Amino acid sequence: MNERGDSQVQQTREVFRGRTDPADGSSDIFEELDALETATAAQLGVMLRGMARIGQVSLLYGARIAAEWQRMALEATRRAGETFGAPFL
């Protein structure tokens, strides 16, 4: 398993490192876990906002591509009509 310094597994191991008796400082453990949970929720929010932004940009790009394709198809149809002497549109 890849254990980067900012992974949640690594952070959880740091919380429990050196703890042998569960009753000893259990409130401290829960405070540290609460801090980790808060940090995880913040990271999740950042990721979701990034995904929403990427999705919005992708949709706008797709709409631009579709409009350009429609414009090119219309222009090709008009040119074909002029070439063969029959107005298609």
Q: Does residue 84 surpass a pLDDT of 90? A: no
**Each residue's pLDDT tens digit, 46-57:** 999 999 999 999
> What predicted TM-score, i.e. pTM, was given to this entire model?
0.52
Domain range for 77 is 26-84
Kindly state whether residue 48 falls inside one of the protein's structural domains. Answer: yes
SS3 22: coil
Q: Does the residue 3 lie in any domain?
A: no
Contact 62, 77 (CB under 8 A): no
In a domain, 6, yes or no: no
Tally of domains within the chain: 1
Is 56 within a domain? yes
The structure tokens listed for 67 are: 């409009």
pLDDT at residue 88, rounded to an integer: 58
| Model pLDDT for residues 31-77, shown as the tens digit of each residue | 888 889 999 999 999 999 999 999 999 999 999 999 999 999 999 98
Taking the C-alpha atoms of residue 88 and residue 76, their distance in angstroms, rounded to an integer, is 11
Q: Is residue 19 part of a domain?
A: no
